[in-house]
Structure 1
Amino acid sequence: MTTAIPRDKPILLFDGVCNLCNGSIQFVIDHDPEGTFRFAPLQSEAAEALLADVGFDDYDFDTFVLVEGDDHYTKSEAALRVARRLEFPWSLAGAFRVVPRPLRDAVYDTVGSHRYAVFGKKAQCMIPTPEIRERFVEMDATGAE
């Protein structure tokens, strides 16, 4: 492991300028009362370091990435792994893992490729409110969290 970012909790990496992605992160925050998940925009140095650490160097901004320890998940697999850890009834969505991944990912890719046109995008990454700031992963100039 090359970064000082602790991975004791799952970390969601998301497109910080995408309105749909930001809405999804807000949804997770609202339905994760235990604070299970931490977050970082894919455009951040923290995300870049985490992705390098887990060996995922072929990413783009069309998916969010779930980093759990030394493992990472993308697209529908990431979304459903997150869903199953949210409060009831949202946790039931995890049952969709029985649908074959190529089919799930095809739907995910279709939404992802049209997300800016349908939902729009911001000029810059979201700035977390003070209430949720500690759940966002950041790196300082030295590379430490």
Structure 2
Amino acid sequence: WRHRPGRSLLAPVALLAAAAAGAGFVCAARGRRPQSPGGRGADVSPALHATAASAPATAGAGTGEGPAALFKRLFSADQRPVVLYDGVCNMCNRAVDVALQNDPQGDHLRFAALQSEVGRGLLAYCGRNRDDLSSMIVVQPDGRCLVKSDAALFVGRQLEESPVLRGASEAASRLLPKAVRDVAYNALAANRYRVLGRRDQLRVDEDGRGDRFVPDAAAAGA
């Protein structure tokens, strides 16, 4: 067996790229102090972490609407994918900030907290538990739901203003099998509250960027 320095160096570099892009763009957010909520939020209560047994079985419970109807309404006039993120995770919110800054016109992405009514409804649409906070999700207009490293790297590839993040995301997508990428994603996601802590309010909006966040009114048929 012959040692190949190029490949031996490539693997950890690509793995780190996948981890950074895949679990919150830590490389871009690192060095920033966790900030107080920059946008409007809602108080975080134990209800946000209720068990599946106490949660409604369908999106739009009480409105007669199911997950499919919610999906149809969200994408009927707006084809931008919806990124679902943990709204109380500081690292995840820093990742949202990075995405907002590097998609300045808002042409590529919309956002909603996993804990919001829209987020819970789209989780149900994707066939996941409505209380599942284990992964970032990207819901695409064609109905596909991307999870874990696939979701994070998709977001990274949309960031045209950051050649570094976009290039790292493209390289990790091509060079690393999903199983390997997801190991890195899971490790960082499992420790996300230890990295930058958590906030007391659920981030549901951003001042001056309301069109970038899907309002909960969408889940109520408004």
Quick check: TM above 0.5?
Answer: yes
Aligned position for 2:167: 92
Distance, in Å, in 2 between the alignment partners of 1:124 and 1:58 is 19
Aligned position for 2:147: 74
What does 1:30-49 align with in structure 2 at a 5 Å threshold? 30-35=101-106, 36-49=108-121
1:5 pairs with one of 74, 79, 101: 74
User: 1:59 Cα deviation (Å)?
Assistant: 6.7
Percent identical residues? 34
User: 1:66 Cα deviation (Å)?
Assistant: 0.6
Matched, 1:83 2:156: yes
Equivalent position SS for 2:202: coil
Aligned position for 1:60: 132
User: 1:126 Cα deviation (Å)?
Assistant: 1.8
User: 1:64 Cα deviation (Å)?
Assistant: 0.7
Aligned position for 1:29: 100
Q: Deviations over 1:98-140 (max 9, x none)?
A: 2011111111111111111221001121253322111111232
> Letter of the aligned partner of 2:127 in structure 1?
G
User: 1:85 Cα deviation (Å)?
Assistant: 1.3
Equivalent position SS for 1:122: coil
Matched, 1:14 2:85: yes
Distance, in Å, in 2 between the alignment partners of 1:16 and 1:63 is 12
Kindly indicate whether the alpha-carbon contact (under 8 Å) linking 1:5 and 1:144 is maintained by their aligned counterparts in 2.
Answer: no
Distance, in Å, in 2 between the alignment partners of 1:57 and 1:120 is 24
Gaps (5+ residues) in structure 2? 1-67
**TM-score of the two chains, using structure 1 as the length reference:** 0.89
Q: How many residues align?
A: 145
**TM-score of the two chains, using structure 2 as the length reference:** 0.60
CA RMSD of aligned residues (A): 2.0
> Letter of the aligned partner of 2:171 in structure 1?
A
Distance, in Å, in 1 between the alignment partners of 2:90 and 2:180 is 24
Gaps (5+ residues) in structure 1? none
Runs (4+) of structure 1 moved beyond 4 Å?
A: none
Kindly indicate whether the alpha-carbon contact (under 8 Å) linking 1:11 and 1:67 is maintained by their aligned counterparts in 2.
Answer: yes
Q: CA distance change for structure 1 residues 75 and 59 in 2, over 3 Å: closer, same or farther?
A: farther
Give 1 or 2: higher helix fraction: 2
